[in-house]
C-alpha cells in the first residue's frame, strides 16, 4: 500500500549567532516529524528576534519558539493548520503580554515571530514583526512577508507589531502551493538588513545545493557588511513532494489482507463470530466476543474492493476518524493492533435498535421523544464538529438507540479538515451520503459546512414527527441549484397536526435550501426546539399561493377564461 506512504522530503539547515553583540536574543527552531504528525501537522520552522529595547528579549524569543514547536503539535490533528497555529500563537502572545504586565521589574517580554509550516503540497506562513520569509523559485527571490515597522526619521524605525505588546495579536497569514526545488529562507534583521537583496539572491543561487554552506556563508556575508545585530537564518529546500503518510494505526490496517466472509462460530485473532449484524455490498458488521467475554462489533471490508485503493483508504480512515471522536453519543473505536491478521476494525457493541428499525416498528414518535432523541443526535454531532469533522451521512440506519440514548455508529462518509488539507495520494470519490438526508449543497456543488449536518439532523426530526420527507419526492431528484430553489417546504403540521407552529418554524429554518438561512449554531436550533421562540408563537399569514397553490391556479384560469369571454362579447 505504497499510496499511503509519505514522500515529502526536504533539506534543512539553520544557524544563529550573537554576532557583534554580547547576547544572542534571537531564537530559531524546527521540528521535522514522521508518521502521523507529518500527515496532520507537517514540518514546522520558526524564527524569533527578541526586541532589544525590552529587558526580557531573549526569554521572550525562546518562549515563542519553544512554545510554538511544542504546543502546535499538541493541538487536535483534525484541526486545520491555520486554526492550530493561530490558537497557539494567540495563547503564547497572551502569556508574554501577561508576564510583561505582572513583572514588578517592568520587564517587557516582546519578540518578533515568523513561522513556516509545510503540510501536504502547501506552505503556511505566520508572521509578526520584522523577521522575514523569502522564497526562491525559478531563480526569482521573493519576499513573502512585510515588515511591521514604522519609520521615525531617516535612520530610525521601530516595530509596530510584536508578540507580547498587546493582549490581542494581529498575525499575517499566507498559504502557498509548494513546488519541488523551492527554497525558503527565514532570517532576522541582522542578516537581511545589511546584505543587499541582489547579493542575498546570488548567495542562495550559488549554494542552493548545500543548505549548510548557505547559512554559514550568510552569517559571514552579514558580518562583512558590518552587521551590528544578532545573526539568524534558516534555509530549507523542497526535494520531493507528495502527500503525507497516514497515522500509524492507518498504516497498520492498510498493509493487511482482506478477510474472508465469516460465519457464526468462526474465530480470528482471539475473536469469536457470534452473528452477522449487518451486511451490504460495501462491508459487513459482525457481533464478536473477545477472550475476556466482551461483546464487540467488528466491521470488515467487502472483498470485491480489494483492488480499489480509494475504497481501502476510506475504510482505514474510518477507524482513524472514529478513534479521535470522544462522546457518549458516538460509538467508541478500539485502536488498531499490530497483531491483527487481516483488515477490519473494532468498536464497542451498542445493543438496541437502529433509528430506522424504531421508526418501522413505532411509526411517528411523540414530539417529546423525537426532540429528546434529536438532542442526543446533536450531542454526538457536536463532538465531530469540535474536531473540524463533518459526518455527511446522518440517516436512521447509522444511529443506534441504546438504553442510554442515541449513538452514531458510522464514519464512512466523514470529511476531516486536517486530512483534506494535507492532500490525497489517490483520487477520492465525492461521498455524498444518502440522497434523502444529505444537504442540497452536496449535490449542486456548494460549500459544505456544519450547517450541512444540521440539515440532515432536521430531516431526521421531520421524519420522526411525520414519517415523511420535508420536500417530498422531488427532493431526491433535484441535482442543481435551480432545481433546489424551486422546492417548497411542506409544513410538518400537514402530516401531524400535533406539531406546534413554533416547532414547525424551527424545522423549516434548519431545513432551508440556502445554508446561510439555517441556524448559526446547533445550540440555537436546540433552544428553539425545546422552548417556543417568541417570534413564532402566532402563526404567520401565509400567502394563498403557498397554502393552496392549486386553488390559485384554478382561479387564475377561470379569470382568464372570463376575461376572454368578456372581450368577445364586447366586440360583438
Q: What is the 8-class DSSP label of residue 330?
A: B
33/92 Cα distance (integer angstroms): 22
The segments of the chain whose pLDDT lies below 50 read 1-6, 244-249, 424-428, 431
508/505 Cα distance (integer angstroms): 5
Q: Which residues contact 546 (CB under 8 A, 6 or more apart)?
A: 488
pLDDT of residue 249: 47
| pTM of full prediction above 0.85 | no
182/34 Cα distance (integer angstroms): 21
390/12 Cα distance (integer angstroms): 36
Q: Which domains, from first to last, does the chain contain?
A: 2-240 (3.60.40.10), 248-348 (3.30.200.20), 355-540 (1.10.510.10)
Cell representation of residue 529: 426546539
pLDDT of residue 312: 86
pLDDT of residue 245: 42
pLDDT of residue 5: 45
Q: In which element (H, E) is residue 256 found?
A: none
Contacts 24+ apart (CB under 8 A), 97-102: 97/164, 97/165, 97/166, 97/167, 99/56, 99/164, 100/54, 100/56, 100/164
Q: In which element (H, E) is residue 381 found?
A: helix 367-386
pLDDT of residue 425: 47
Residue-by-residue DSSP string for 285-302? EEEEE-TT--EEEEEEE-
> What's the pLDDT tens digit per position in 257-287?
999 999 999 999 999 999 999 898 889 999 9
143: left (phi over 0), alpha (psi -120 to 50) or beta: beta
> CA angle, 73 as apex, 67 and 75 as ends, to 5°?
100
> CA angle, 437 as apex, 431 and 443 as ends, to 5°?
50
With beta carbons less than 8 A apart as the criterion, state whether 319 and 345 touch.
Answer: yes
Helix residue ranges per DSSP H, 403-500: 417-422, 440-444, 450-466, 481-485, 492-495
- Cell 422531488 belongs to which residue? 474
Q: In which element (H, E) is residue 127 found?
A: strand 122-128
β-strands 157-159, 415-416 pairing: unpaired
> What's the pLDDT tens digit per position in 141-199?
999 999 999 877 766 778 899 999 999 899 999 999 999 999 999 999 999 999 999 99
3-state SS, one letter per residue, for 434-454: CCCCCCHHHHHCCCCCHHHHH
Amino acid at each position: 500500500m505504497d499510496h499511503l506512504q509519505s514522500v515529502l522530503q526536504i533539506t534543512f539547515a539553520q544557524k544563529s549567532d550573537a554576532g557583534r553583540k554580547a547576547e544572542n536574543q534571537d531564537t530559531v527552531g524546527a521540528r521535522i516529524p514522521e508518521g502521523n504528525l507529518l500527515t496532520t501537522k507537517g514540518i514546522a520552522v520558526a524564527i524569533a528576534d527578541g526586541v532589544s529595547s525590552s529587558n526580557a528579549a531573549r526569554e521572550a524569543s525562546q518562549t515563542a519558539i519553544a512554545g510554538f514547536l511544542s504546543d502546535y503539535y499538541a493541538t487536535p490533528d483534525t484541526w486545520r493548520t491555520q486554526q492550530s497555529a493561530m490558537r497557539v500563537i494567540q495563547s503564547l502572545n497572551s502569556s508574554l503580554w501577561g508576564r510583561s504586565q505582572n513583572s514588578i521589574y517592568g520587564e517587557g517580554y516582546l519578540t518578533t515571530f515568523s513561522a513556516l509550516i509545510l503540510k501536504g503540497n502547501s506552505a503556511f506562513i505566520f508572521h509578526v514583526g520584522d523577521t522575514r520569509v523569502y522564497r526562491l523559485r525559478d531563480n526569482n527571490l521573493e519576499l513573502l512577508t512585510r515588515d511591521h515597522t514604522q519609520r521615525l526619521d531617516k535612520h530610525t524605525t521601530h516595530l509596530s507589531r510584536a508578540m507580547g505588546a498587546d493582549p490581542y495579536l494581529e498575525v499575517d497569514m499566507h498559504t502557498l502551493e509548494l513546488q519541488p526545488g523551492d527554497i525558503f529562507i527565514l532570517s532576522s534583521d541582522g542578516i537581511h538588513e545589511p546584505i543587499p537583496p541582489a547579493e542575498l539572491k546570488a548567495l542562495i543561487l550559488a549554494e542552493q545545493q548545500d543548505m549548510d554552506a548557505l547559512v554559514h556563508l550568510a552569517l559571514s556575508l552579514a558580518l562583512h557588511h558590518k552587521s551590528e545585530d544578532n545573526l539568524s537564518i534558516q534555509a530549507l529546500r523542497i526535494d520531493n513532494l507528495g502527500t503525507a503518510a497516514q497515522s500509524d494505526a492507518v498504516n497498520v490496517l492498510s498493509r493487511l489482507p482482506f478477510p474472508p466472509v465469516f460465519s457464526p462460530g468462526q474465530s480470528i485473532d482471539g475473536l469469536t463470530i457470534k452473528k452477522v449484524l449487518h451486511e451490504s455490498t460495501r462491508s459487513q458488521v459482525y457481533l464478536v466476543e473477545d477472550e475476556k467475554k466482551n461483546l464487540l462489533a467488528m466491521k470488515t471490508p467487502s472483498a470485491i474492493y480489494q483492488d480499489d485503493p480509494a475504497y481501502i483508504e476510506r475504510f482505514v480512515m474510518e477507524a482513524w476518524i472514529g478513534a479521535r471522536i470522544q462522546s457518549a453519543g458516538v460509538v467508541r473505536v478500539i485502536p488498531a493492533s499490530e497483531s491483527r491478521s487481516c483488515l477490519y476494525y473494532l468498536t464497542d457493541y451498542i445493543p438496541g435498535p437502529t433509528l430506522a428499525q424504531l421508526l418501522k416498528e413505532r411509526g411517528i414518535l411523540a414530539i417529546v421523544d423525537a426532540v429528546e432523541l434529536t438532542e442526543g443526535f446533536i450531542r454526538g454531532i457536536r463532538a465531530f464538529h469540535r474536531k473540524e469533522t463533518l459526518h455527511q451521512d446522518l440517516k436512521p440506519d447509522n444511529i443506534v438507540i441504546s438504553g442510554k440514548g442515541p449513538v452514531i455508529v458510522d464514519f464512512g462518509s466523514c470529511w476531516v479538515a486536517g486530512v483534506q488539507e494535507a492532500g490525497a495520494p489517490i483520487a477520492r470519490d465525492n461521498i455524498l451520503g444518502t440522497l434523502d438526508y444529505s444537504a442540497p449543497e452536496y449535490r449542486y456543488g456548494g460549500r459544505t459546512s456544519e450547517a450541512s449536518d444540521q440539515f440532515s439532523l432536521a430531516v431526521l426530526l421531520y421524519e420522526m414527527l411525520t414519517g415523511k420527507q420535508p420536500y417530498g419526492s422531488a427532493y431526491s431528484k433535484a441535482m442543481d441549484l435551480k432545481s433546489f430553489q424551486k422546492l417548497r417546504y411542506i409544513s410538518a403540521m400537514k402530516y401531524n397536526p400535533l406539531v406546534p407552529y413554533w416547532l414547525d418554524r424551527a424545522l423549516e429554518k434548519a431545513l432551508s435550501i440556502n445554508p446561510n438561512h439555517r441556524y448559526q449554531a446547533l445550540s440555537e436550533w436546540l433552544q428553539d426546539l425545546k422552548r417556543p421562540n417568541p417570534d413564532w408563537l402566532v402563526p404567520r399569514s401565509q400567502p394563498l399561493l403557498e397554502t393552496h397553490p392549486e386553488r390559485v391556479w384554478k382561479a387564475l384560469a377561470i379569470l382568464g377564461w372570463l376575461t376572454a369571454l368578456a372581450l368577445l362579447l364586447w366586440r360583438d
